[in-house]
Amino acid sequence: MENFSFYLPTIVHFGKGQISSLGASIKQFGGSKVLLAYGGGSIKANGIYNAVVAALKKANIPFVDCDGIKPNPPVEDVNRGIKLYRDNGCDFILAVGGGSTIDACKAMAAGVCYDGDVMDLMAGGKGEIKTAAPLAAVLTMAGTGSELDLGGVITAGADHKKHTIMHPLLYPKFSILDPTYTFSVPEKHSMAGSFDALDHLIECYFIAGSESTDVQNMMNEGLMRSIVKNAPLILENPENYDARANIMWASSMALASFQFALGKKGSNWPMHAMGHELSSLYDMTHGVTLALIAPSYLAFTLEKAPEYTWLFANFARNVFGVVETDDALAAKMGIAKLKEFTLTLKMPNNLKEVGVEEDKLEYLAEKATEWGNIGALCKIEKDEALEIYKNAFA
Amino acid sequence: MENFSFYLPTIVHFGKGQISSLGASIKQFGGSKVLLAYGGGSIKANGIYNAVVAALKKANIPFVDCDGIKPNPPVEDVNRGIKLYRDNGCDFILAVGGGSTIDACKAMAAGVCYDGDVMDLMAGGKGEIKTAAPLAAVLTMAGTGSELDLGGVITAGADHKKHTIMHPLLYPKFSILDPTYTFSVPEKHSMAGSFDALDHLIECYFIAGSESTDVQNMMNEGLMRSIVKNAPLILENPENYDARANIMWASSMALASFQFALGKKGSNWPMHAMGHELSSLYDMTHGVTLALIAPSYLAFTLEKAPEYTWLFANFARNVFGVVETDDALAAKMGIAKLKEFTLTLKMPNNLKEVGVEEDKLEYLAEKATEWGNIGALCKIEKDEALEIYKNAFA
């Protein structure tokens, strides 16, 4: 097992009615004026906005609205939030939403304390995060795990490139996770979120060095199994509290300081890299891009890294209940089961079906690998990425 | 799923050579003079003491020794530490050891900030923990998980009763987990520690309300499986780094803010309650008492709470690989497998074998239940506890 450090300071308040802890929690971290950030109108339609506002008013905490944070959040929304925060003398940022809103708020939290362009603070940028405003999250959509991690993804530039911002100061101070807040999430987004969480686990599972990390692998298998069991229950009944609760907690645990990648030989999240390019070019829902890419990526990887056939076989048996004893056969059956699972979640079948143009695949492969090899078990450079996109195409 | 809160602020530095982070980590939390607490002479014999002292000296951090912390730590050791801390103007407590030393240091951390008897701060006592000295751990024995949790167990009084101290301020600020530090732990204690960790997971698995906590159950099953796989590898080769690393991380994860009991209907750790009484009366190693009690407790519980037969069957299949499809049969096979596993770890076979007197069982049952029902799936009052002790006797 490789050396690692682990740190997960976010306080979680999980369950029905936990919004009642909002005011005291904000005060615990010194908040006296809140920038209240959220996305579209859904939280106004479903009553969550009113519940948040009521909790703030009850605690006598003034706030300023920062609405309209877009999915795949653009840096313009981040800059708008930074300006609102400063203009109004806020000292706390509250994200009410899913991964996009929380990610945007993380960039705001760093940006309000930085005298320069917030893009400087993205990975590889010239700036440095030395301090950040305290932020917290009220989660309204399960999937990204941003509520229990230190990173965010921001879209910027003419090519809608995705940039990462990451720092221990950007962990939410607390996150309120009420499964009933996800009851009204549309089916497509509920399923895309579930697959996003599953894919985080798959990214962390198939990494070189997994020979030595039984703890991480075996906990991960169990967590993946819980998603495979519970996501379809939400399809049957969107108001199934326990299914929503399991998916919400699974999504948080799936990321939680990248706990399942600890002790392995690093990874650069190849499926996410390839999926992000699809979102950049076609503004596709993140989880949907992952469902399209993952089976193709895994099939390619199994072929190129046959020394990890045992890992694919464990995945098949311990996540999908495959009983085949031959590793090579089991490995392939596991990938087939995963593809089948994406269809159970009503994800599209291939890239062509969602309007991706075949002549754009080369561009996508180039962009996904522009910083080099993104492989976790074998080399994934441009040619390899292209083959994966092609196999996912039709 | 029941509502819960989750908080796990301890920073972990895991792996070979992580002692190099000691000085900077202490300074990060304002430490300038350290109370260095440890147990017997083993850390002097195996070089860990020298490594810790070298790291402190390199960072120019003065320290005062508090040696001789005993297993099942008595309050006298805690009071000795409190006096040393105060007399020498310390501002940081460093525990170098296993659960006993860390537990004692947690009580010291609370006690040095309390103007009165430290026993007041135990659960049910008249005092209140309002502040605590910062403490950290260098772990030298895997099992208790005290390095990643907020509680400790202290022995006090003529009857050697075990008392619990617990507060979020008592999380170690950081814990250094170097698997090589456990290479020289004697076989008996390595195996007892492994079983202690497994038993924490069993305590958290068999709790009412488990119908709704797939995430917690399934992750737990994976973690238990990793212990079942790796503990015997340590028997074969005590210097198997990866096996030691997996057991060390499994032990920490097994407790980590009691993550696997979250969302269930509460528990009062019945096996621990019954095991602690054995330790109190016979000064037995904690993990050994659990290995003696667990199979008997589970068999009793299965009979009295047949509505949870499915949970026992899942345990059998997902932890021990039982393939039986009939739940009732599988459930029993799982308990038999657990008993077999205790013998694989060279734990004793029954209470009689380790010198427990049959005429003391009634006393033990009375003490274990003196605060009432300790059941997690069914009622465990004095008569029930007595039956469990009797079934474990011979």
A309-368: per-residue pLDDT in tens? 999 999 999 999 999 999 999 999 999 999 999 999 999 999 999 999 999 999 999 999
How far, in Å, CA of A205 to CA of A201, rounded?
6
Same domain, A155 and A96: yes
Residues of chain B with Cβ-Cβ distance to A179 below 8 Å are 1
3-class secondary-structure state, position A193: helix
pLDDT, tens digit (0-9, with 9 covering 90-100), for B198-242: 999 999 999 999 999 999 999 999 999 999 999 999 999 999 999
Do B201 and B332 fall into the same domain?
yes
**Residue A3 contacts residue B18 (beta carbons within 8 Å):** yes
A90: tokens are: 């806020």
Residues A204 and A332 both lie in one domain: yes
Position B17 in a domain: yes
* Secondary structure string (H, E, C) spanning chain B: CCCEEEEEEEEEEECCCHHHHHHHHHHHCCCCCEEEEECCCHHHHCCHHHHHHHHHHHCCCCEEEECCCCCCCEHHHHHHHHHHHHHCCCCEEEEEECHHHHHHHHHHHHHCCCCCCHHHHCCCCCCCCCCCCCEEEEECCCCCCHHHCCEEEEEECCCCEEEEEECHHHCCCEEEECHHHHCCCCHHHHHHHHHHHHHHHHHHHCCCCHHHCHHHHHHHHHHHHHHHHHHHHHHHCCCCHHHHHHHHHHHHHHHHHHHHHCCCCCCCCHHHHHHHHHHHHHCCCHHHHHHHHHHHHHHHHHHHCHHHHHHHHHHHHHHHCCCCCCHHHHHHHHHHHHHHHHHHCCCCCCCHHHCCCHHHHHHHHHHHCCCCCCCCCCCCCHHHHHHHHHHHHC
Report the residue of chain B nearest A243, measured CA to CA: B212
Predicted local distance difference test score (pLDDT) of residue B159:
82
**Mutation site, B2, B4, B6, interface A, largest A CB count within 10 A:** B6
Kindly report the pTM of this predicted structure. Answer: 0.97
**Nearest-angstrom CA–CA distance, B120 and B165:** 10
Same domain, B223 and B296: yes
What long-range pairs does B234-237 form, CB within 8 A, spacing at least 24? B234/B190, B234/B191, B234/B194, B235/B187, B235/B190, B235/B191, B235/B344, B235/B345, B235/B346
The predicted pLDDT at position A118 comes to 98
Considering the domain boundaries, does residue A169 fall inside one? Answer: yes
| Statement to judge: residues A263 and A213 lie in one domain | yes
pLDDT value of residue B359: 97
CB-nearest partner of A222 from B18, B222, B249: B222
Q: How far is B220 from chain A (nearest CA, A)?
A: 7
Do B206 and B252 fall within a single domain? yes
Contact status of B249 with chain A (Cβ, < 8 Å): yes
Query: Which residue in A285, A260, A262 sits closest to A275, CA to CA?
Result: A285
B180 token code pair: 């090589």
Interface probe with A: pick from B14, B177, B215, most Cβ of A within 10 Å: B215
User: What is the DSSP code string of A362-382?
Assistant: HHHHHHHTTTS---SSS---H
| Alpha-carbon gap, residue A123 to A2, rounded angstroms | 23
Last residue of a domain, one of B181, B196, B222: B181
Domain-embedded: residue A234: yes
Does a structural domain hold residue B1? Answer: no
What is chain A's length? 394
Q: Taking chain B, what is the end-to-end CA distance rounded to the nearest angstrom?
A: 39
Segment 264-293 of chain A within 8 Å of chain B by CB: none
B213 and B96 in a common domain:
no
Please check whether residue A169 touches B, CB under 8 A.
Answer: no
pLDDT in tens, B308-341: 999 999 999 999 999 999 999 999 999 999 999 9
Beta bridge partners of B136: B94
Three-state DSSP state, A239:
coil
Domain of B208, CATH number, reads: 1.20.1090.10
- Structural domain contains residue A44: yes
Select from A13, A18, A221 the Cβ nearest to the Cβ of B222. A221
What is the domain count for chain A?
Answer: 2
Closest-approach residue (CA) in chain B for A246: B215
Average pLDDT over residues B60-79: 96
Mean pLDDT for chain B overall:
96
The first and second tokens of residue B136, run together, are: 């950290």
Beta strand A174-177 with B92-97: parallel, antiparallel or unpaired? Answer: unpaired
pLDDT band for B31, please (50, 70, 90 cuts). very high
B271, B269, B272: which is closest to B260 by C-alpha? B269
pLDDT of B163 above 90:
yes
A233 touches chain B (CB under 8 A): no
Distance of CA A287 to the CA centre of its chain: 8
Subunit contact A219:B8, Cβ cutoff 8 A: no
Distance from CA of B350 to the nearest CA of A (A): 30
Among B147, B181, B215, the domain-final residue is B181
Question: Which domain covers residue A130, as residue numbers?
Answer: 11-181
The verdict on A226 touching B (C-beta cutoff 8 Å) is yes
Pairwise CB contact (< 8 Å): A1 & B241: yes
- Strands A151-156 and A161-166 turn out to be antiparallel
For residue B1, the distance in angstroms to the closest alpha carbon of chain A comes to 6
Is A4 inside a domain boundary? no
Quick check: A1 and B179 CB within 8 A?
Answer: yes
Tell me, what amino acid is at B126? K
Q: Are residues A252 and A219 in the same domain?
A: yes
User: What's the pLDDT tens digit per position in A127-181?
Assistant: 999 999 999 999 999 999 999 999 999 999 888 888 999 999 999 999 999 999 9
Contact B225/A at CB under 8 A: yes
Q: Are residues B235 and B142 part of one domain?
A: no
Chain A nearest-CA distance from B253, in A, is: 9
Do the Cβ atoms of A1 and B15 come within 8 Å?
yes
Q: Looking at the domain assignment, is residue A123 inside a domain?
A: yes
Say yes or no: B161 and B232 in one domain. no
Q: Is B318 on the interface with A (CB under 8 A)?
A: yes
Helix (H, G, I), strand (E, B) or coil at A176: strand
Q: Are A298 and A338 in contact (CB under 8 A)?
A: yes
Task: Select the residue of B5, B7, B249 nearest A215 (Cβ to Cβ).
Answer: B249
- Is the model's pLDDT at A106 over the cut of 80? yes
A181, A204, A225: which is the final residue of a domain?
Answer: A181
Name the closest residue on chain A to residue B171, using Cα atoms.
Answer: A9
pLDDT at res. B158: 86
pLDDT at B23: 98
Q: Å from A150 to nearest chain B CA?
A: 14
- Which residues, in sequence order, are bridge partners of residue A153? A164
Whole-Å CA distances, A8 to A168, A173, A293, B246: 9, 10, 29, 20
Q: In this model, does residue A125 exceed pLDDT 90?
A: yes
CATH number of domain containing A127: 3.40.50.1970
Q: Is A2 inside any structural domain? A: no
Q: Tell me how far apart the alpha carbons of residues A76 and A92 are, in angstroms, rounded to a whole number.
A: 20
pLDDT for position B268 = 83
Residue A267 pLDDT greater than 80, yes or no? no
Residues B93 and B45 in one domain: yes
Q: Quote the minimal CA–CA distance from A145 to chain B in Å.
A: 15
Q: Are residues A238 and A285 in the same domain?
A: yes
How confident is the model at residue B161, as a pLDDT?
85
Report the residue from A15, A179, A218 with minimal CB separation from B226: A218
- Residue B3 and residue A17: Cβ atoms within 8 Å? yes
Residues of B whose CB is below 8 A from A210? none
Minimum CA–CA partner of B249 in chain A: A215
Q: Which residues of B touch A213 (CB under 8 A)?
A: 246
H or E element that contains A310: helix A309-320
Beta carbons of B15 and B179 less than 8 angstroms apart: yes
Contact A1 B222 (CB under 8 A): no
> Can you tell me the ipTM of this complex?
0.96
Q: Does B222 touch chain A (CB under 8 A)?
A: yes
